[in-house]
Structure 1
């Protein structure tokens, strides 16, 4: 049975899959949620919440979700790993690919994790400086005063 997930409403202007004839924010739709990933918009970036065990058998589902975002024009991505029970090198490979795709489009990919095991995996793999884990989601953007 898939892990429980929090549902986040996605309006018609959120997500990633382009629709013909539309441009910019008008063409964004959320990628379909799956048992291991769902996403929602939060103040200028897309949050992908990974769920359950991310290993060789399930990393593809997380990867498909991230690929849909990073190939569809949503280059500001935060991957929230706080609800992940297990995460291995298969998950790291998915993060690296999504990070590369986001950077190619002028964006970023950041990771949120409060789990020492994930921090150790990032350190052992040499990816801690590439994905310095945030303890919580980034704060909301403050509107610029003019």
Structure 2
């Protein structure tokens, strides 16, 4: 059963679900939001073997600061032998992920359910 804690910032909620840490991003993910999110992201991605899902389904705007957060999370999780999964359905954000090549490294899933059910090796090194 998932718990629903209060937001840590107006841009981030974190909860545990099926042995994964789920980071839900909300609103506009720009440089100001990234500065608020980074300490929590770092804490969630520093544990050895961390299983993390970043859920972008509540995001209205996503710029290069958001991309840096995703690359940072991926690098930190993989260096600790963990896994990172991504949920994203917003057309413009999906386009950014595809154009930058991040969609190949971190394949976006349409729902949290799909991300939690995808194979373990989906976020491995390429």
Which bracket does the TM-score occupy, shorter chain normalised? 0.7 to 0.9
Point out the structure with the larger helix share: 2
Deviation at 1:8, TM superposition (A): 0.8
Q: Rg: which structure is higher? A: 1
Give me the CA root mean square deviation: 2.1
Residue matched to 2:79: 104
TM-score using structure 2 length: 0.81
TM-score using structure 1 length: 0.71
Moved beyond 2 Å, runs of 4+: 138-141
Return 5+ residue gaps in structure 1 as ranges.
Answer: 1-6, 11-31, 142-146
1:51 aligns with 2:26: yes
Deviation at 1:72, TM superposition (A): 3.8
Change (3 A) 1:74 1:85: farther
Point out the structure with the larger strand share: 2
Aligned length in residues: 114
Correspondence 1:7-86 to 2 at 5 A = 8-9=4-5, 33-73=8-48, 75-86=50-61
Residue matched to 1:119: 94
Larger RCO: 1 or 2 (CA < 8 Å, sep 6+)? 2
CA contact (8 A) 1:56 1:90 kept: yes
The superposition leaves residues 55-112 of structure 1 with CA deviations (integer Å, 9 ceiling, x where unpaired) of 1121122222110111245611000000011001110101111111111111111110
